[in-house]
Structure 1
Amino acid sequence: MTSTPPLPPELTVLAETFRLLGDPTRLRILLFCLEAPRSVGDIAASLDLSQSLVSHHLRLLRGARLVRGNRQAKQIFYELADKHVSDMLVDMTHHVGEESAED
Structure 2
Amino acid sequence: MDPDSQYVELAVEVFGLLADATRVRIILALRTNDELSVNHIADIVDKSPAAVSQHLAKLRMARIVSTRQEGQRVFYRLANEHASQLVSDAIFQAEHAIADGTTPAHHHEERERA
TM range (shorter): 0.7 to 0.9
Cross-structure match for 2:69: 71
Aligned residues between the structures: 97
CA distance in 1, matches of 2:94, 2:46: 24
Q: CA 1:91 to 1:8, structure 2 compared with 1: closer, same or farther past 3 Å?
A: closer
Deviation at 1:27, TM superposition (A): 0.9
User: Structure 2 length as normaliser, TM-score?
Assistant: 0.73
Q: 2:99 aligns to what SS in structure 1? A: helix
Runs of 4+ in 1 over 3 A off after TM superposition: none
CA distance in 2, matches of 1:85, 1:26: 11
CA distance in 1, matches of 2:82, 2:5: 21
Task: Show CA shifts across 1:22-80 (max 9, x none).
Answer: 01111111111110121101011222212111111001011111111122343222121
| Contact residue 27 and residue 83 of structure 2 kept, 8 A | no
Segments of 5+ residues of structure 2 without an aligned counterpart are 102-114
Task: Let me know the Cα RMSD of the aligned residues.
Answer: 1.9
Cross-structure match for 1:59: 57
Q: What letter matches 1:25 in structure 2?
A: T
